[in-house]
Amino acid sequence: MSKILIIDDVFLYQLSLGEIIRDLDGKSEISHVSSLHDGEAALKVAHFDLIIVDIQIQGYTVIDMIDFIGRFSNTNRILIFSLANENVYADRCLIAGAKGFVLKSSQRQQIETAIFTVLSGKRYVSENVHRMLLAAIPVVLPYEPKLVPREKEVMHLVLQGLNTREISHVMKIMESTVCTYRANIFRKLKVKNVKDLATKVRV
């Protein structure tokens, strides 16, 4: 049985999400709160397997919101459920620590997929955001050697915080191929980890 917390200041969204979750798993235990203050109280007394939250409540920024949740919960299964522009906010939410981002205006099936994916411990963004990440402004390297295009794509996704399996899904290539590209990137740029890579590369 999964324990799920919904933080949203619009009651109708709380109800609709609860209905979708119960259809996915009738045994799920769902808690609803309409403010971060009430969310804090809920997080202090219970562990939740999934936290679904709107980032546009009470004037908090994306980072503030996720940091707030992190102070009272040890789960990283945070799904952003929002009307905010996904082209602007989805990657920010992932970088800040959320596991997924789905629009409130999405089709029911897409919302179901987002909930199931994040509850399973994987990342979720829409196909539109996948394409946006792959077509993002190229990474600028202040030195040689240059990376081949596919290595640049992998590097960009690594810097977005995606793991090997997630990159494999986004790029539709084998995980072993992702590992090869990743090793080539580290070798060519003479870095040992993602932190060093982020320091050395200007995005």
Task: Give the 3-state secondary structure of residue 30.
Answer: strand
Reported as a single tens digit per residue, the pLDDT across 163-177 is 888 888 888 899 999
The superfamily CATH assigns to domain 3-125 is Response regulator (3.40.50.2300)
- CB-based burial of residue 190 (10 Å sphere; 0-12 exposed, 13-18 middle, 19+ buried)? exposed
Q: What is the C-alpha to C-alpha distance for residues 80 and 93, in angstroms, rounded to an integer?
A: 8
Q: What is the C-alpha to C-alpha distance for residues 149 and 144, in angstroms, rounded to an integer?
A: 14
List, for the chain, all residue ranges whose pLDDT scores fall below the cut of 70: 59, 134-145, 202-203
The neighbouring-strand residues paired with 149 are none
Could you state, in order of their start, the residue ranges of all structural domains in the chain? Answer: 3-125, 136-200
Q: What is the C-alpha to C-alpha distance for residues 58 and 71, in angstroms, rounded to an integer?
A: 17
The neighbouring-strand residues paired with 102 are 81
Residue labelled with tokens 């995980």: 175
Q: Report the pLDDT value the prediction gives residue 136, as an integer from 0 to 100.
A: 59
Q: Taking Cα atoms as reference points, which of 114, 117, 118 lies closest to residue 102?
A: 114
Please say whether the structural domain 136-200 has been given the CATH code 1.10.10.10.
yes
Q: What is the C-alpha to C-alpha distance for residues 73 and 11, in angstroms, rounded to an integer?
A: 23
Q: Report the pLDDT value the prediction gives residue 46, as an integer from 0 to 100.
A: 92
Reported as a single tens digit per residue, the pLDDT across 103-116 is 999 999 999 999 99
Q: What is the C-alpha to C-alpha distance for residues 7 and 36, in angstroms, rounded to an integer?
A: 7
Q: What is the C-alpha to C-alpha distance for residues 79 and 58, in angstroms, rounded to an integer?
A: 18
